[in-house]
């Protein structure tokens, strides 16, 4: 089952640090980061999404591979890769997977102007280790689909860092 968490931070650099921490935790095999978005709410209230995964690029890469493979059968691998890449890029641009942009934008309305948030779709999470590492960065839980007990543990871990920062 996938876990979705959204944590708000005072600014974009803090949110990006949290994303980097999640990527490090993935490297330690403590979670699988399926998708992540850093959301910036500008001072005038506009919402900017900073995607970590380019759907267009992923589609182009897949299309080039399959187009080249099929092109090999017809003795035109370069043409097949070119056509596959173009069609894959278009399909990638039109597809949506991971955290849905509409959902992110609707929740981002709750992020204060000038602040930022990290939305992360996780799989196979070792929650106690992740809570401890993310807890060092502070932040405020905006949304999770965790159980109530696990969500409270995450809130507690984040609030410890927030309390020490306030001192």
Residues 86 and 111 in one domain: no
pLDDT digits (tens, 9 = 90+) for 111-146: 999 999 999 999 898 888 888 888 899 899 999 999
Output the pTM of the full model: 0.72
Q: Say which DSSP state 49 is in.
A: E
| H or E, element range at 123 | strand 116-123
> 44, 70, 94: which is the final residue of a domain?
94
DSSP-derived 3-state class of residue 30: coil
Residues 117 and 155 in one domain: yes
CA dist 66 and 83 (Å) reads 10
Sequence-ordered list of residues with C-beta below 8 angstroms from that of 26, at least 6 positions apart, any chain: 32, 33
Residues 7 and 38 in one domain: yes
| pLDDT of amino acid 13 | 94
DSSP sequence for 3-19: EEEEEEESSHHHHHHHH
Domain that holds residue 75: 55-94
pLDDT digits (tens, 9 = 90+) for 49-100: 877 755 555 555 666 666 666 766 676 677 766 766 666 665 655 554 567 7
Does 165 score more than 70 pLDDT?
Answer: no
**How many folded domains does the chain comprise?**
2
Band of the pLDDT at 28, cuts 50, 70, 90?
Answer: very high
């Amino acid at each position: 089952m996938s876990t979705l968490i959204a944590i708000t931070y005072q600014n974009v650099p803090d949110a990006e640090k949290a994303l980097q921490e999640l990527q490090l935790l993935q490297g330690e095999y403590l979670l699988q980061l399926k998708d992540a978005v850093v959301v910036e709410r500008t001072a005038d209230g506009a919402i900017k999404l900073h995607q970590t995964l380019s759907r267009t690029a992923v589609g182009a890469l897949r299309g080039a591979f399959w187009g080249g493979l099929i092109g090999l059968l017809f003795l035109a691998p370069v043409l097949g890769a070119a056509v596959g890449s173009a069609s894959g890029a278009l399909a990638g641009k039109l597809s949506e997977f991971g955290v849905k942009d509409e959902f992110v934008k609707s929740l981002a309305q709750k992020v204060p102007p000038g602040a930022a948030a990290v939305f992360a779709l996780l799989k196979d999470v070792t929650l106690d280790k992740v809570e401890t590492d993310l807890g060092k960065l502070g932040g405020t839980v905006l949304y999770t689909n965790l159980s109530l007990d696990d969500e409270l543990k995450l809130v507690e871990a984040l609030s410890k860092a927030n309390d020490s920062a306030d001192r």
